[in-house]
Amino acid sequence: MSQQVHAVTAETAIDPDDITIAYLGGGSRQWAPNLIRDLAQSDLNGQVRLYDEYYESAQRNAEFGNWVHSDADVEPTSEWSYEAVESLEAALTGADVVILSTQYNPAETFVHDLDIPEDYGIYGAVAATIGPGGIFRAMRTVPLYRKFAAAIREHCPDAWVFNYTNPVHFVTRALYDEFPEINALGLCHEVLGTRHRLARYAREELDMDAERSDISVNVKGINHFTWVDEARCKGVDLWPVLEDLVDGDEGHQEFTWDDLEDESVFVDNWQVTWELFRRFDVLPAAGDRHLVEYATSFIQNGQEGLNRWGVKRTGSDYRAKHWTPAESDQTTDVEAWLEGDKEFELEESNEVFVDILRALVGRDTYVTNINLPNVGQVSDLEENAVVETNATVRANEVKPMAAGGFPRPVRALIQGHVDTIETIIEASREGDIDAAFEGFLIDQQIRTLQTEAARELFAELVAVQEGYLEDWDLSDSAVLEESEAYQG
């Protein structure tokens, strides 16, 4: 049975009827409207300050939040007010809770993370959390989050910080590296999706009445490369079910592009999951589109290699198009709700923010997967590296659970990514671009390249995103000086 290790605790209790939330990235087109709807259906009350580089976007969400609680034809169970603010100080001063959810314009960043590595034979499925794309997303994001951590230290050092920004492991690690006493939680819904899937198998294979909340798992790893070695539904062991499925038709499917053409880019056929389970006897607990970028043999042979496993690539055209709300299927059209062009309902997002917050204010005890620095919860990964395990949340504390270690082959895969993450974080302290290249060079996707090709890929990504790398010292870089891609 898992034992608990040292807790993260805050000195000041939160009043559940007067909570102040600072939302950095409060102009968000998806997360902020989801938060507003979840809070409206909660038994908590307070105010939310929305801060965003695009102030007009924060104003739009503030208008929406106040509309939900005053003019919408719904009946919230709580009382919340929303205000757009124009400075970090105004957002953070005295905040009880800080939410971090930001993204740079993907048409100027994300598309390059996908397209340029492809020219070098690296065919990432998502390119957002590891590999060349994930590393450059981290290099763009980590300096900003160091500034956020410093501002939190100044204006609300005891606040609970919820980080949703990818790459979650890099970003959460940077928050703690800048401000070691921060109470920051890295959150992701991938393990929640695995629990949804396991509930489905309990229904289909065992004829149980099961939903996500009935599933308990012992989860461990790093974000988007988490693993499960225990799974139960209402106390019933699901491992024999998984062993039967992996040996049957469910675990042996193959796909082509024609099979996937009309599917969402988020389709998850679990064939990578089954293959890794078959080989290592530990069940991955993240979507296949993420797993392939950590277990890199699956991204060989381009699109055909991905499709064979039922994975559909998130292309750069999709990323660029979905920056514009009017063209988006995945972002929320707040304007349409406000103007009455689209019917509004209070729907739950299936995220766990409110569940965690209710536990922190003492309304409940809650167990969920959380990314935190390793203080013993994963026994064979290095101390302070950000790992993802279950944690128990109760009044004013988050206590991660000791989840044990890994079979050697799985540990080897994970440790390589930890080394990449830690090297990039160390480089970011001084903005040392050549030290960042060392982290880039040891990434498991990059290892397929000759060092000169890796250097040119790195330099090309720097050149096309230079405006987003202002906190890195590019002028004194030996790596960039050697490169034709950068100098050209």
313: nearest Cα among 273, 264, 275: 264
CA pair distance 197, 210, nearest whole angstrom? 10
Q: In degrees rounded to 5, what are phi and psi of residue 347?
A: -105, 145
Distance of CA 9 to the CA centre of its chain: 23
DSSP labels, 406-455? --HHHHHHHHHHHHHHHHHHHHHTTTBHHHHHHHHHTSTTGGGS-HHHHH
Distance of CA 296 to the CA centre of its chain: 19
Determine the pLDDT at residue 488.
60
Query: pLDDT tens string for the chain (488 positions)?
Result: 445 578 899 999 999 999 999 999 999 988 999 999 999 999 999 999 999 999 999 999 999 999 999 988 899 999 999 999 999 999 999 999 999 999 898 888 989 999 999 999 999 899 999 999 999 999 999 999 999 999 999 999 999 999 999 999 999 999 999 999 999 999 999 999 999 999 999 999 999 999 999 999 999 999 999 999 999 999 999 999 999 999 999 999 999 999 999 999 899 999 999 999 999 999 999 999 999 999 999 998 888 999 999 999 987 777 776 555 444 444 458 988 998 889 999 998 989 999 999 999 999 999 999 999 999 999 999 999 999 999 999 999 999 999 999 999 999 999 999 999 999 999 999 999 999 999 999 999 999 899 999 999 999 999 999 999 999 999 999 999 999 988 86
Instruction: Supply 445's token pair.
Output: 């996707």
In our burial notation (b when 16+ CB lie closer than 10 A, e otherwise), range 203-239 reads eeeeebebeeebbbbbbbbbbbbbbbbbbbbeeeebe
CA pair distance 488, 486, nearest whole angstrom? 5
271: nearest Cα among 253, 289, 245, 247: 253
- Is residue 25 within 8 A of residue 165, CB to CB? The reply is yes
User: What does the angle CA 132 – CA 133 – CA 134 come to, to the nearest 5 degrees?
Assistant: 95
Give the CA radius of gyration of the chain. Answer: 22
* Beta-strand runs (E) in 153-233: 160-163, 183-186, 215-222, 225-233
- Is residue 269 within 8 A of residue 309, CB to CB? The reply is yes
The CATH number of the structural domain formed by 106-130+189-322+367-488 is: 3.90.1820.10
Fold agreement between 8-105+131-188+346-366 and 106-130+189-322+367-488: yes
DSSP labels, 56-108? HHHHHHHHHHHHHTTTSSS--SS-EEEEEESSHHHHHTT-SEEEE-----TTT
CA pair distance 394, 362, nearest whole angstrom? 6
Residue with tokens 């290790």: 5
Q: At what angle do helices 271-280 and 408-428 cross, to 10 degrees?
A: 120
Instruction: Please state the length of the chain.
Output: 488
User: What does the angle CA 379 – CA 380 – CA 384 come to, to the nearest 5 degrees?
Assistant: 75
- Is residue 99 within 8 A of residue 164, CB to CB? The reply is yes
Determine the pLDDT at residue 329.
47
Class of CATH domain 8-105+131-188+346-366: alpha beta
CA pair distance 375, 125, nearest whole angstrom? 32
In our burial notation (b when 16+ CB lie closer than 10 A, e otherwise), range 341-368 reads eeebeeeebebbbbbbbbbbbebeebeb
Q: What is the DSSP letter of 201?
A: H
Dihedral (Cα; 429, 464, 441, 449), 10-degree rounding: 180
Strand partners, 404: 378
Q: Is 114 helix (H, G, I), strand (E, B) or coil?
A: helix
Give the predicted TM-score (pTM) of the model: 0.95
Instruction: List the catalytic residues.
Output: 189
CA pair distance 352, 99, nearest whole angstrom? 13
Instruction: Supply 170's token pair.
Output: 């890099």
281 contacts: CB under 8 Å, gap ≥ 6: 407
116 contacts: CB under 8 Å, gap ≥ 6: 132, 457, 460, 461, 464
284: nearest Cα among 419, 170, 201, 194: 194
- Is residue 455 within 8 A of residue 483, CB to CB? The reply is yes
CA pair distance 327, 370, nearest whole angstrom? 33
The domain locations on the chain are 8-105+131-188+346-366, 106-130+189-322+367-488
